[in-house]
Amino acid sequence: MSVVTRSRSLLASSVLMLLASTASMAQSSTLITNARVIDGTGTPAQRVSVRISGEKITAVGDLEPLEKETVVDAKGLVLAPGFIDSHSHHDGGIFERRDTPEVVSQGITTIVVGQDGGSRLPLGDFFSKLQATPAAVNVASYVGHNSLRDEVMGQDYKRAATEAEMKKMVELLKRDMGAGALGLSTGLEYEPSVYSAPSEVITLAKTAASFGGRYISHMRSEDVALDPAIDELINIGAQACMPVQISHFKLAIRNRWGDAQDVLKKLDAARARGIDVTADIYPYEYWQSTLTILFPDRNYQDRRQAEKVMTEIASPEGLILADFEAEPALVGKSIGEVAVARKSDPASTLMALIDESLKFNGGKGGREGVIGKSMSEDDIATLMAWQHTNISSDGAMGDAHPRGAGAFPRVLRQQVREKKTLTLEQAIHKMSGLTAQHVGIQDRGTIRVGAAADLVLLNPDTVADRATLKDPSQLSVGIERVWVNGQPVWQQGKTTAAHPGKLIKRAASAKPFTCARATH
C-alpha cells in the first residue's frame, strides 16, 4: 500500500470513528435548552443550553441538538445544580425507600449524613451497602463522636474518657476516615458526648484533620450557653487547624433574639484570624430534638431549669411532642395541653414526662422527641444571609418536622420570592456551590463542563413547600425535574424509580489544611 493510500485510509478511519463517537454520544446524551441557567456560583442567570452525556455535563453554551439526542425544552424555567443537603438524616430507611421522594422533590441530589455525632459504624460497611444498593440520591457521611463514644465506653459514659479509651476512639476514627468519611461530627448536647471534655473533642478533631477531614458540630448549646459553645468550636478550628461548621445555626433563646449580628461579628473576627468557620441553617422558627437536652446539667428534677425552659426557651404551647413511646396518644400535643389535661403546671409536666420516658420499658427508657418554637424570623434571615452560611434541612424521611420534606423550597418561596432577603442566585449558591465548598465535595455543586450531571429544573414563580407541623409529609411543588448523575429521578410530580446515586467519599487528594493556628 502506498503512503498516500495509507494516509487516505487512516483519515477515512478517523472520520468514521469521529462520526461513530458523535452518534453514540447523541444516542446517550440529553440537551436541555431554553433554560435560565443559574450555575451555583452566585453569578447572574444566563440563557444557555446544557448537554449531559452519561454521568457528566459535557457542554454549556449556545448548543445545537445532535442527531437522535434527547432534547428537554426548559421553557424558560431555571436550571440549577442539584442541591446538596449538608446536614441530613434522610439516610434512615434509605435502603427501604430508595426513591427518597422527600429528598428529590426538594431538588436535593446529595445528602450528607452522620450528623449530630451519630453515624453508622463501621462506616465501611454502610458504604459497601450503599454501593451495592444505591438510592436515588448521592450520599456522603461524617464519623460521629457519639457513635465512637458508644462503641468504646458503652453505658459507662457519664465521665471523661480515659487515655486507653481515647486511643480506641482514635483508632476507630482513623479506620472510618480511611474508608472515605468527610470528617468528624459532634452532637455535644446529646448523650454520651455531653459528658466529654473539650480536650477529647480536640484530640479527635486533630485526628480527622490529619486526613484532610472537616469538623461539623451540633454545639454544646444553642441557647443559654451559646457564646461559650461558639468559642469552643472556634478553638477547635484553631487547635486542629481545620474548617469548622456550625450545624443548624440558631439563636434558640428569647432573650438573645436580635443578637444575630453580634454573633456574626464574632465569627467574622475568627475568620479574620485565619479560622475557616462556616454554618448551615434551615428556614424554620422551630427545632426538633429531645426533651432531655432542655436540661443542660441533666438534672431532670431541677424545677428552676424547667421553669426557665418555659419562659426563656419556648412557651408551653410552643413545645409539641413529636414522639413519646411511653404514651403515644400524647404525640402532637403541646406541653401546655398535656399540663391542662393532667391538671398540672407546665414545668411539673415537663419533668414528669421525662421521668415517665426514662422509666419506660422497665427502666430502659423509651423514644421521645419534641418540636420547639424558639427562634425569630428576623434572626433566621440575618444568619441565612451571612456569606458563609449554606442551606440544610436537618430533616429525615417520615419526619415529624416539616423540614424533612420542605426546607429547600421553603427558602425559595419565603426568603427569595416573598421576603426578597436573598436573590435567587444567592439562594441557589447557598444550596449548591457554597455547600460543596463547605463539605469538601469537588465535582458537584456547580454547572460546568466536567462536573457530575446533578441538576434541578424549577419554576421560581411556583416553587413552594407544603409540609406543615400538622402534615409534615406533604411534598413540595415547583420542582419540575431532577437529574442525578445524568439520570432523571423526579419528573411529572413523582419519582422515576431510578437509583443512580453514588457514594461520595472525601476527595482522595484531600490533605491536612494549613492555617495560622491562632489560639482562642
What is the reported pLDDT for 15? 37
pLDDT at residue 429 is higher than 50: yes
Mean pLDDT of 222-243: 97
Specify the range with the lowest mean pLDDT, choosing from 21-35, 68-82, 193-207, 253-267: 21-35
pLDDT band at 249, cuts 50/70/90? very high
Determine the 3-state secondary structure of 170 from DSSP: helix
pLDDT tens readout for residues 81-94: 999 999 999 999 99
pLDDT band at 511, cuts 50/70/90? confident
Give the three cell numbers for residue 494. 413523582
* Positive/negative CA dihedral, 320, 370, 389, 257: positive
pLDDT band at 214, cuts 50/70/90? very high
- Give 278's DSSP letter: E
What is the reported pLDDT for 10? 40
Cα(406)–Cα(277) distance, integer angstroms: 27
Cα(454)–Cα(287) distance, integer angstroms: 29
pLDDT at residue 518 is higher than 60: no
What is the reported pLDDT for 516? 59
Mean pLDDT of 399-419: 98
pLDDT band at 105, cuts 50/70/90? very high
Q: What residues contact residue 22 under an 8 Å CB cut-off, 6+ apart?
A: 66
What is the reported pLDDT for 7? 43
pLDDT at residue 519 is higher than 60: no
What is the reported pLDDT for 8? 46
Cα(278)–Cα(488) distance, integer angstroms: 32
CA-based Rg of the chain, rounded to a whole angstrom? 25
Cα(62)–Cα(52) distance, integer angstroms: 14
Mean pLDDT of 43-69: 97
pLDDT band at 212, cuts 50/70/90? very high
Mean pLDDT of 309-317: 95
pLDDT tens readout for residues 144-183: 999 999 999 999 999 999 999 999 999 999 999 999 999 9
Mean pLDDT of 218-222: 97
What domains can you pick out in the chain, each with its CATH number?
3-81+483-495 (2.30.40.10), 83-287+374-451 (3.20.20.140), 288-373 (no CATH)
Threshold 0.85, pTM exceeds? yes
pLDDT band at 16, cuts 50/70/90? very low
Residue 15 is inside which H or E element, if any? helix 3-28
- Give 294's DSSP letter: G
Q: How far is CA 208 from the centre of its chain?
A: 19
How would you classify the pairing of strands 389-391 and 108-113? Answer: unpaired
pLDDT at residue 23 is higher than 60: no
